[in-house]
């Protein structure tokens, strides 16, 4: 096969007319030519850190959406499904990826469960991490979220890092807000990336200490605006990632959107493409082509260098996307899950009146961090009650892995709706059921909808209800991105119709149980101060 066009040689920092010749899935030559078709041939985009499960799509369905945007590979952490189904979940994702077309490179999930302050569906210990890292299907140790454990020298945590070192595989970091001597200890343990920077000074400090920084733009955590000045500072040590991207956003674009934004800001095209296409391949030592002779024939064709419209996406010499169509074989539907049977009653969601104020989570639109407040809720018949007028709603987490769970209850502000409840089994990181509402009856109904369907997103009001089922681990479905995005857009609109002002209420909800991100969160065991790493005094 031969294809001609203007060759974008990222590493050589030049654009020239030429012909790419491919044989047996490899690039055998890249030769200059006098006259070529008016199009551009370049390396494909690589997402340097993503949880595919957070797209709510199986790897095969995810690939169909990502290939359209010129993505040829992802560095993927199966942490979400691992917290639900353990080693079986990791193997499920690996098997799915082998049929996906897209090149998906998995890491060994380092924190299952993420903390000892929550109950997940599985545990992956040091011996299992060592087993995973010995596999050719595992390329790195996934984000080490337990930074307190690293700093304190926890033997289990350090043994996982040591296993990666012995296997010659890199260790990903996760250290939001970490600075100073604690940051140095974290890096000295062997952790060399971070995707959690939310400010330029934080990223600059980490770069100065030898870390590589992933500029993240996901559906909830959006850090490109704060971090893009790094492109002028240290191109060699930057990568782009999405981390968590919901299906409606994935239909709009992927890493290609970050490339467009950076170029519109005036950054050098070769610098931007090095970050988007080359650096992840080099850092993780991925068998992904970068348009060099002898490489796998992984590349994309774009219409021009103004709007970067993707014409074709090739992997191993096969055109998997072209002429507006995806060319992937269909695969049989398959599923995996971990869900107990229980019946939550409205009275289990009641909170008795106590003396003093209670801790309140303040959700922030477009962020996964929260603020923390204290207030005294309204009282009715000896019970604390939600007050939608003051935007004080009730939040609860129900352990979905054990029968007869006792709901953990708390308070939240920032959702702003009234007369409704929303619930989800996408609840980082343990993926128990998380629910927010201002009425115990409606909250119980929303929770029971998920128990009956074994996972998904639910909305309940006095007038209507809606369920987006996620039967694969309570996290994913093998429906198409278009189908899931349509249902997700519809259920999001229902939440906004009852007063919610958040851009992505279900994405925000999913992070309210993420204990490793400051400042105040909730697990199935109670309200949790993520700064002091202790449970809260409930009043």
Do 137 and 239 lie in one domain? The reply is: yes
Where do the DSSP E strands lie in 279-399? 299-302, 310-315, 318-322, 325-326, 351-352, 358-363, 370-375, 378-380, 383-385, 393-398
Do 60 and 146 lie in one domain? The reply is: yes
CATH at 136? 3.20.20.140
Rounded CA separation 68/323 (Å): 10
Q: pTM value?
A: 0.92
Number of domains in the chain: 2
Contacts of 288 (CB under 8 A, 6+ apart): 44, 46, 72, 73, 103, 281, 296, 298
Cβ-contact 173, 283 below 8 angstroms: no
Query: How much is the average pLDDT of 446-464?
Result: 96
pLDDT in tens, 52-80: 999 999 999 999 999 999 999 999 999 99
Residue 85 has what pLDDT?
97
Report residue 103 CA to chain centroid gap: 17
In a domain, 39, yes or no: no
Nearest to 468 by CA among 444, 490, 440: 490
Do 271 and 387 lie in one domain? The reply is: no
Rounded CA separation 216/211 (Å): 15
Where do the DSSP E strands lie in 165-206? 171-173, 193-194
Phi (first) and psi of residue 485, to 5 degrees:
-60, -40
Contacts of 16 (CB under 8 A, 6+ apart): 6, 7, 9, 32
Run of H or E residues at 483: helix 481-497
In a domain, 300, yes or no: no
Cβ-contact 78, 143 below 8 angstroms: no
HEC letters along 235-265:
HHHEEEECECCCHHHHHHCCHHHHHHHHHHC
Do 264 and 383 lie in one domain? The reply is: no
Do 254 and 366 lie in one domain? The reply is: no
Residue 67 has what pLDDT?
98
Residue 81 has what pLDDT?
97
pLDDT in tens, 202-217: 999 999 999 999 999 9
Task: Choose from 240-249, 411-420, 500-509 the range with maximum mean pLDDT.
Answer: 411-420
Residue 358 has what pLDDT?
95
Do 242 and 151 lie in one domain? The reply is: yes
Q: Single out the residue in 288, 313, 338 at which a domain terminates.
A: 288
In a domain, 339, yes or no: no
Q: Single out the residue in 288, 309, 338 at which a domain terminates.
A: 288
For the chain, what is the mean pLDDT?
95
Nearest to 122 by CA among 158, 155, 90, 157: 90
Query: How much is the average pLDDT of 472-480?
Result: 95
Q: Single out the residue in 238, 260, 288 at which a domain terminates.
A: 288
Do 275 and 354 lie in one domain? The reply is: no
Q: Is the pLDDT of residue 303 over 60?
A: yes
The backbone region for 330, taken as left when phi is positive above 0, alpha when psi lies in -120 to 50, beta otherwise, is beta
Do 143 and 222 lie in one domain? The reply is: yes
In a domain, 502, yes or no: yes
283 is in which domain, residue-wise?
Answer: 44-288
Query: How much is the average pLDDT of 167-172?
Result: 98
Do 499 and 416 lie in one domain? The reply is: yes
Run of H or E residues at 221: none
In a domain, 1, yes or no: no
Query: How much is the average pLDDT of 402-411?
Result: 94
Cβ-contact 203, 184 below 8 angstroms: no
Do 138 and 250 lie in one domain? The reply is: yes
Exposure string for 308-341, b = 16+ CB within 10 A, e = fewer: bebbbbbbbbebbbeeeeeebeebeeeebbbbee
Residue 335 has what pLDDT?
85
Do 351 and 245 lie in one domain? The reply is: no
Do 78 and 152 lie in one domain? The reply is: yes
Q: Where are the alpha helices (DSSP H) in 6-78?
A: 59-66
In a domain, 190, yes or no: yes
Which pLDDT band holds residue 538 (cuts at 50, 70, 90)?
A: low
Contacts of 268 (CB under 8 A, 6+ apart): none
In a domain, 303, yes or no: no
In a domain, 334, yes or no: no
Query: How much is the average pLDDT of 10-28?
Result: 97
378 is written with which tokens?
């309204």
Which pLDDT band holds residue 301 (cuts at 50, 70, 90)?
A: very high
The percent of residues in the chain predicted with pLDDT above 90, rounded, is: 89
């Amino acid at each position: 096969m031969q294809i001609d066009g203007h060759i974008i040689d990222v590493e050589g920092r030049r654009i020239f007319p030429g012909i790419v010749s491919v044989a047996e899935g490899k690039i055998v030559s890249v030769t200059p030519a006098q006259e070529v078709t008016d199009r551009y041939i370049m390396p494909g985009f690589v997402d340097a850190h993503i949880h595919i499960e957070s797209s709510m799509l199986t790897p095969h369905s995810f690939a169909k959406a990502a290939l359209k945007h010129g993505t040829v590979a992802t560095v993927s952490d199966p942490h979400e499904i691992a917290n639900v189904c353990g080693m079986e979940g990791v193997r499920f994702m690996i098997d799915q990826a082998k049929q996906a077309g897209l090149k998906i490179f998995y890491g060994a999930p380092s924190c299952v469960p993420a903390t000892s302050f929550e109950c997940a569906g599985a545990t992956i210990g040091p011996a299992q991490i060592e087993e995973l890292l010995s596999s050719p299907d595992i390329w790195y140790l996934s984000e080490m979220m337990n930074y307190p454990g690293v700093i304190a020298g926890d033997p289990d945590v350090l043994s996982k890092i040591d296993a990666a070192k012995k296997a010659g595989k890199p260790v990903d970091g996760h250290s939001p807000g970490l600075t100073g001597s604690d940051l140095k200890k974290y890096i000295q343990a062997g952790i060399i990336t971070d995707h959690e920077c939310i400010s330029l000074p934080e990223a600059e400090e980490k770069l100065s200490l030898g870390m590589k920084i992933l500029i993240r733009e996901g559906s909830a955590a959006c850090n490109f605006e704060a971090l893009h000045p790094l492109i002028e500072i240290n191109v060699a040590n930057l990568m782009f990632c999405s981390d968590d991207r919901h299906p409606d956003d994935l239909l709009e674009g992927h890493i290609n959107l970050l490339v467009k934004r950076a170029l519109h800001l005036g950054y050098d095209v070769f610098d931007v493409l090095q970050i988007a296409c080359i650096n992840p391949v080099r850092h993780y030592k991925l068998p992904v082509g970068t348009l060099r002779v002898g490489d796998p024939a992984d590349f994309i064709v774009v219409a021009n260098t103004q709007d970067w419209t993707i014409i074709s996406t090739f992997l191993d010499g096969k055109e998997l996307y072209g002429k507006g169509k995806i060319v992937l074989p269909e695969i049989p539907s398959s599923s995996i899950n971990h869900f107990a049977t229980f019946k939550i009653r409205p009275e289990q969601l009641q909170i008795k009146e106590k003396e003093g104020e209670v801790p309140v989570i303040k959700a922030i639109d477009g962020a996964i961090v929260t603020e923390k407040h204290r207030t005294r809720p309204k009282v009715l018949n000896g019970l604390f009650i939600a007050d939608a007028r003051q935007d004080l709603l009730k939040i609860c987490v129900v352990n979905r892995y054990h029968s007869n769970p006792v709901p953990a209850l708390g308070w939240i502000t920032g959702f702003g709706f009234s007369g409704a409840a929303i619930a989800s089994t996408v609840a980082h990181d343990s993926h128990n059921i998380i629910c927010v509402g201002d009425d115990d009856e409606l909250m119980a109904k929303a929770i029971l909808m998920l128990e009956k369907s074994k996972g998904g997103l639910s909305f309940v009001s006095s007038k209507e209800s809606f369920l987006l089922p996620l039967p694969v681990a309570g996290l994913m479905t093998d429906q198409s991105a278009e189908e899931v995005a349509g249902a997700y857009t519809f259920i999001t609109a229902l939440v906004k119709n009852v007063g919610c002002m958040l851009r992505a209420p279900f994405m925000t909800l999913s992070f309210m149980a993420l204990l490793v991100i400051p400042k105040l969160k909730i697990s199935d065991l109670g309200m949790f101060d993520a700064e002091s790493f202790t449970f809260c005094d409930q009043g």
